[in-house]
Structure 1
């Protein structure tokens, strides 16, 4: 592209120089020739006037007297009736420019100038025009190179940006080139880079969330299947198989929930459900794990509560809190249910050292963990709670107390005089 821009600019300049240069050469040649002819005529008229004045005054007319009146490069022939011709200067050879003037006494003055002098002036003029034309060509080439670089370099940058996007590097460059059309392309590429970055972030987040959220149901399912392989009692096999099927259903719910949240985190399928059933299910699933490390998990508080939300999502939030207590807490883990206003609260606490002070305000951020863990569990749990219209908070750092707040009434069931701000 650079070569085409330079060639096209140079071609335009050469055409302009050829058109105007030839015209200028013709005009200057004619002007120089006309000026030389006028000089010779003027010289002849001036010389004949001098001869007339001397003849009228009876002054002596000789070549020596008139030599100073003729230019060194010109030749003059003075013819006076009854006298010998007077020659001043050397008669030029070759082509000449001549002019003849006749005086009042009948004398004739002829002045000649070699045409080579005119040719020399024309040559100098042509040299000057050629020099100017050459400078114009050089300037045109420099300007063409600059303009080509100004246009080609941004295109190269834009191509590199597009190539980086295609190779999986979605960082926007935010570089502009002071050319509206190219800046528009740069804007589109930067917008595309930002969209690709968001999609890649969402995909990585979904993968991380899926690996974390699926780990617990898969572990529980694996434990049930191991129980089936280790027993020959049909009743035990049937019971464990039933529990395994429930785990498969929960696993399916987890996958669907993750996919739904990845498309639109605000999308929910909240229903009114029995909170005791979800709490007892989680205690039953986690009791073997706690028993294996010599710890206990218990529940207390108000019973027979009904909450609004997605049972699967609530179960995942509780599982994240219970697993967090198993990994980072100590002693007995207690799940307490209570009512505050129009909300039901599920508190999860343990007897461990609690949350470090430096992590208190950041405990729900991704990658934030007090130990060697992923730091994803609590962040995913809060997202799931908020997607259901609830909220997850840390109520106390030492000993740790986490509270899951859920509404007891769906929004469409609220009386007109109720304040919607109190409903989560």
Structure 2
């Protein structure tokens, strides 16, 4: 591309120089020739007037008298009536420029100038024009090289950016080049890089969240299936199968919730539900794991509370808190319910050492963990809570107390929509 730009620019400059240079040479040659002819004619008229003035006062006209009046390199012939011609200077050979002027006393003055003087002047003019053309060509080449680098380097850089995007490196480069069209391409590539980066981040986040959120339900489901394989009692098999089916439904809800949350974290399907039902379901699901660890999980507080949210999402948040207490806490885990203002609060606490001081408020950040775990459980739980219009907070560090805040009344928009539906 650089070579093409340089060649095209140089070709344009050469064409312009050829067109205007030839025209300028023709015009200058004609101008110099006409100027030389005018000078010779003026010289002839001037010498004729000098001869007239001397003849009028009856002074002698000789070559010695007129030699001082003749310009160097010119040949002059003065023809007087009844006298021999008077010659001044050397007669030029070859082509000459000649002019004659008659006098009032009957004399004729002829002035000749060799055309070689015109040729020398034309040659000097051509040399000057050639030097100017050469300088113009050099300037054009330098300008073409500069413009070629200015255009080709950004294009090479943009090609490298596109190649980086194709190789899986979505970092935007934020480089601009001062050319509107190229800057527009750079804007589009940077925007594409940011979108690709967000998509890759969302995919990695979905994979991490899925592996974390599905691990516990699958473990609980496998425990139920093991119970079925180890018993011959039909009633026990039926009971365990019923619980396993319920866990499969919750597992399906977890998957659906993860997919929905990955597309739009703010998308929620909040409804008014019975909070006791979700808490009892979590207690039944986690009691086997706590019994295996020699610990207990209990519930207390106000009963028959109703909250606004997605039951599946609330169950996942509570599951994350209960699992966090099982892995990092100690003693009995308690789920307490209370009411504060227009909100229902579910507190999950245990008797363990609490949250380390160095973690503090960072406990909800991804990849933050104090015991070599994945560090995404609480982050996912907070995202799920916020998607339903609630919030998850750490109320106390030692011992650890986490609070899930849910609204007791539907949002105003939902009630207005319900009114319009009834109408």
TM more than 0.5: yes
Match of 1:153 in 2: 153
Match of 1:30 in 2: 30
Report Cα offsets for 1:183-234 as digits up to 9, x if no partner: 3333333333322222222222211111111111111122223333444444
In 1, Cα distance between equivalents of 2:121 and 2:104: 35
Q: 1:49 to 1:309 in 2, by over 3 A?
A: closer
Give the C-alpha shift of residue 119 in structure 1: 1.0
Match of 2:360 in 1: 360
Match of 1:167 in 2: 167
Q: 1:48 to 1:310 in 2, by over 3 A?
A: closer
Match of 1:380 in 2: 380
Q: 1:50 to 1:271 in 2, by over 3 A?
A: closer
Do residues 280 (structure 1) and 277 (structure 2) align?
no
In 1, Cα distance between equivalents of 2:105 and 2:204: 116
In 1, Cα distance between equivalents of 2:369 and 2:44: 112
Match of 2:401 in 1: 401
In 2, Cα distance between equivalents of 1:178 and 1:225: 67
In 2, Cα distance between equivalents of 1:92 and 1:264: 101
373-382 or 9-18, which deviates more: 9-18
Give the C-alpha shift of residue 12 in structure 1: 3.3
TM-score using structure 2 length: 0.89
Match of 2:349 in 1: 349
Report Cα offsets for 1:250-282 as digits up to 9, x if no partner: 111100111111222233233343333322332
TM-score using structure 1 length: 0.88
Match of 2:204 in 1: 204
Give the C-alpha shift of residue 56 in structure 1: 4.1
Give the C-alpha shift of residue 404 in structure 1: 1.5
Give the C-alpha shift of residue 58 in structure 1: 4.5
SS of 1:69 mapped into structure 2: coil
Give the unaligned 5+ runs of structure 1: 417-424
Match of 1:122 in 2: 122
Match of 1:420 in 2: none
In 1, Cα distance between equivalents of 2:113 and 2:82: 27
In 2, Cα distance between equivalents of 1:174 and 1:44: 78
SS of 2:359 mapped into structure 1: helix
In 2, Cα distance between equivalents of 1:171 and 1:315: 37
Report Cα offsets for 1:163-195 as digits up to 9, x if no partner: 333333322333333333333333333333322
Match of 2:189 in 1: 189
Q: What is the correspondence of 1:252-401 to structure 2 with a 5 Å cutoff?
A: 252-401=252-401
- The alignment covers a number of residue pairs equal to 416
Match of 2:111 in 1: 111
Q: 1:270 to 1:51 in 2, by over 3 A?
A: closer
In 2, Cα distance between equivalents of 1:411 and 1:68: 118
In 2, Cα distance between equivalents of 1:275 and 1:106: 139
53-62 or 261-270, which deviates more: 53-62
In 1, Cα distance between equivalents of 2:216 and 2:173: 42
Give the C-alpha shift of residue 379 in structure 1: 1.1
Give the unaligned 5+ runs of structure 2: 417-423
142-151 or 71-80, which deviates more: 142-151
Aligned-residue CA RMSD (Å) = 2.7
Match of 1:250 in 2: 250
In 1, Cα distance between equivalents of 2:223 and 2:415: 47
SS of 1:363 mapped into structure 2: helix
In 1, Cα distance between equivalents of 2:414 and 2:75: 124
SS of 1:93 mapped into structure 2: coil
